[in-house]
């Protein structure tokens, strides 16, 4: 009986060790995959200094924000000029749109 118990303990220890190693390997692969995805995410959002002219979405958006504001102002000014010259008539719908644009 003593030999059988010793043999079963060695098998259980071997199986447990193998399962622990497999689990650690799986976790390591998952962490590595997540790390690569995070790096891609960072490069897409904030750009990559190693690649010329790759600015990143966040930097481009911040840089273009001033153009968005000036485009809104230009649209409002254009509608105002057209209204002053009696080319268009400002109805309720257009007035609501202009008010919404002015608030942003």
The predicted structure's pLDDT at residue 30: 97
Rounded Cα–Cα distance for residues 96 and 102 (Å)? 10
Encoding tokens for residue 14? 């071997």
Q: What is the pLDDT of residue 86?
A: 84
Q: Is this model's pTM higher than 0.85 or not?
A: no
Here the tokens at position 9 are 């303990």
Residues 37-52 pLDDT 10s: 998 888 888 887 777 7
- Of 55, 33, 32, nearest in space to 44 by CA: 55
Number of Cβ within a 10 Å radius of residue 66: 9
- Counting as low any pLDDT under 70, the low residues of the chain are 1-2, 53, 104
């Amino acid at each position: 009986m003593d030999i059988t118990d010793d043999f079963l303990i060695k098998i259980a220890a071997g199986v447990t060790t193998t399962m622990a190693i497999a689990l650690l390997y799986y976790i390591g692969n998952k962490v590595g995959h997540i790390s690569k995805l995070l790096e891609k995410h960072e490069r897409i959002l904030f750009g990559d200094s190693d690649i010329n002219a790759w600015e990143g979405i966040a930097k481009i958006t911040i840089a273009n924000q001033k153009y968005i504001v000036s485009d809104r102002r230009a649209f409002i000014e254009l509608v105002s000029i057209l209204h002053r010259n009696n080319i268009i008539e400002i109805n309720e719908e257009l007035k609501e749109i202009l008010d919404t644009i002015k608030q942003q």
